[in-house]
Amino acid sequence: MELVLHNRFDTVKFCFLAAGHAKFDQESLFSTIAHAYNHSDVFITEQLVALIQNTIEPNNGKCISIDNQEVINWKDLLQTKYNVFENIKNCREFFVKRDANNNTLVFHKTCCYEGDYLTKQLLKSKIDACMDLRKRLKEFSYCTKQMSTELLSEKMQDLCKMFNAYINPVLRPKWLPMIKNSHDKSCVIIGSPSAELAKQHRYDLKKNSRKKRKTQKEKNT
């Protein structure tokens, strides 16, 4: 709706396929990354980014790293301007456009292939449609989310326990303090993330699958 309200597009139409059957390119990529993750030691964000980069690099991909200043609490931000779309999970197709009076409406239906559109007016009645939410992004960035002193202390305690018990001291961030009476730090040898194990695992799965199909075919014949 924001794209149509601010004349970036005249209409926006999108359709979600049945849950579990998306078949998008990223599904295959996520699967490859998941296999690599399951066979690698990943303790800190930098290692996760390195693993992802190492996994997608053969496909000439690029891993883009973001920080909490770029992660926005969209749900709360959108609710300052729009009403909640009830039962949105039951819908598959959406079509956003302006009517004759220049009002932006959302048309939706439960199936992408048949049925009639239903209409929703999501813009709150007391809100100016020209209000641009992009100017309020910083207010809803996770970097501005403040923790209470007690909660922050509790989080720091938990982090220290995990680093002390399981993570190589070399990888301990400088901002994480040392807590008195904590357990001795144990060194953990951490290998570099690799996609080779993931590839081998996927190859073995496919090999076993072909073997099962061949065996089943021989039984049937």
Lowest mean pLDDT, pick from 1-10, 127-136, 168-177: 168-177
- pLDDT confidence of residue 146: 62
Asked, for residue 179, whether it belongs to a domain, the answer is: no
Domain range for 55 is 2-145
* Rounded average pLDDT over 98-103: 85
Backbone angles phi, psi at 93, to 5 degrees: -120, 140
Each residue's pLDDT tens digit, 197-208: 556 667 777 888
Residue 78 lies in a domain: yes
**What confidence score (pLDDT) does residue 189 get?**
37
The pLDDT score that the predictor gives to residue 9 is: 93
pLDDT band at 58, cuts 50/70/90?
low
Would the pLDDT of 102 be above 70? yes
Residue 41 belongs to some domain of the structure: yes
What integer pLDDT is reported at residue 93 of this predicted model? 93
Domain-embedded: residue 70: yes
Is residue 205 situated within a structural domain?
no
The yes-or-no verdict on residue 142 having pLDDT over 50 is yes
Answer whether residue 189 is part of any domain: no
Domain-located, residue 154: no
User: Residue 172 domain-assigned?
Assistant: no
Question: What's the number of domains the chain is made of?
Answer: 1
Please provide the average confidence, as pLDDT, over all residues in the chain. Answer: 79
pTM over 0.75: no
For the segment 209-214, the average pLDDT, to the nearest whole number, is 86
The per-residue pLDDT for 192 is 39
